[in-house]
Amino acid sequence: MIIVTKKGVTQDQLDHIRERIESLGLRTHMSRGESRTVIGCLGDESLLEHVPLLSIPGVEAVHQVLKPYKLASREFSPEPTEVPLGDTAIGGNELVVIAGPCSVEPGDMLSSTARHIRAAGARALRGGAFKPRSSPYSFQGMAEDGLKMLADVRSETGLPIVTEVMDTRQVDLVASYADVLQIGARNMQNFSLLTEVGRLRRPVLLKRGMSATLKDLLLAAEYIMSQGNSDVILCERGIRTFTTETRNTFDLAAIPVLKRETHLPVIADPSHAGGRRHLVAPLSYAAIAAGADGLIVEVHPDPETATSDGDQSLDFAEFDAFMDGLRPFVVAVKRGLAARA
């Protein structure tokens, strides 16, 4: 259930509404708009069935939220959510590009990549210190040493860090280094992990599971938000189908559907969707046209020697051309893109 306040509601009235709802055994969550505030009532709504909510000073309307993802729904927050990321925000007017290697590797690869993507207009550095791999014999990442390398590069370049957390036991460690915690496709319905990252006040990039419906994705976001963390970024990265020509099948329609259903920002991962570097640009163009708020792409100075996902990684020259190619599409949808340094 959501309560919509009257225009010009006072802080004392807001406090009274919140205290009244919470005294009945429910939790509240406020979303402030330009002229009105929406108060979400979380818990057993039957406790409000016979309460004259419209008689409470400052209340204009009361609505039932029929969707199971209440906090993530567009009904709860008509205004789009902007998730802060360094000097910008995902969900605002700027199309935000996050770039970097699939995995953190030894040597100066990470530093050179960060310097290059920043100069080309990327706003954040991605890189996996912990890597979920299908085979137990594949490279699993550099763990805390990789996190330290990411933090060192952030100090050098100023780029915020986006990196994956795979286990509840890693949450505090990864959060002590990362600016954005990524939940990978394989962990989208790891509800214990979602709950743990939800208790932190740190942005979360939530990737859609390879067999997940959009309802599944939004309910996963609801797990995070129900713990008090509303800074959730949804990511469409392709789903598994019968085709073998691409790594996954990019669900382009998911972007406008999500933009209609939720106030949360939506980005696309064309690298994992296509699985081939020549597909990254065209899938990105389509994502921008469909309304994506950002892109997360894989970049490596020498994809041939990458420890993981070299086939879908852009080299530096390809990334420069990629960023230049985005600009006409960004202009067409009346958004901005960070300029080259």
Q: What tens digit of pLDDT does each residue of 65-90 get?
A: 778 898 999 988 878 999 999 999 99
Residue 138: pLDDT band (50, 70, 90) is low
Q: Among the listed ranges 16-30, 237-251, 262-276, 293-307, which one has the minimum average pLDDT value?
A: 16-30
Residue 29's pLDDT is: 85
Q: Which pLDDT value is given to residue 207?
A: 98
Q: Express each pLDDT in 162-204 by its tens digit.
A: 999 999 999 999 999 999 999 999 999 999 999 999 999 899 9
Q: What percent of the chain has pLDDT above 90?
A: 83
The pLDDT score that the predictor gives to residue 36 is 82
Q: Say which range, 106-120, 121-135, 220-234, 252-266, has the weakest mean pLDDT.
A: 121-135
User: Over 80: is that where the pLDDT of 277 sits?
Assistant: yes
Q: Is 134 a residue whose pLDDT tops 80?
A: no
Of residues 69 and 34, more confidently modeled: 69
Residue range 108-130: mean pLDDT, rounded: 97
Q: Which residue has the higher pLDDT, 213 or 34?
A: 213
Q: What is the pLDDT of residues 152-162, one digit of tens each?
A: 999 999 999 99
Average the pLDDT over each of 6-15, 124-133, 274-283 and give the range with the smallest value.
124-133
Supply the pTM of this predicted model: 0.88
Q: Is the pLDDT of residue 44 over 90?
A: no
Mean pLDDT of the region 253-278: 97
Please give, one letter per residue, the 3-state secondary structure of the chain.
CEEEECCCCCHHHHHHHHHHHHHCCCEEEEEECCCCEEEEEECCHHHHCCCCHHHCCCEEEEECCCCCCCCCECCCCCCCCCEEECCEEECCCECEEEEECCECCCCCHHHHHHHHHHHHCCCEEECECCCCCCCCCCCCCCHHHHHHHHHHHHHHHCCCEEEECCCHHHHHHHHCCCCEEEECHHHCCCHHHHHHHHCCCCCEEEECCCCCCHHHHHHHHHHHHHCCCCCEEEEECCECCCCCCCCCECCCCHHHHHHHHECCCEEECHHHHHCCHHHHHHHHHHHHHHCCCEEEEEECCCHHHCCCCHHHCECHHHHHHHHHHHHHHHHHCCCECCCCC
Average pLDDT over residues 94-103: 97
pLDDT at 49: 83
Residue 31 is predicted with a pLDDT of 83
pLDDT tens-digit map of 48-69 = 888 999 999 999 999 887 788 9
pLDDT score, position 137: 61
> To the nearest whole number, what is the mean pLDDT of the chain?
94
Structural domains for the chain: 2-63 (3.30.70.1140), 83-332 (3.20.20.70)
The pLDDT value given to residue 54: 93
At residue 300, the pLDDT reads 98
pLDDT of residue 141: 73
pLDDT at 133: 63
pLDDT higher than 70, residue 139: no
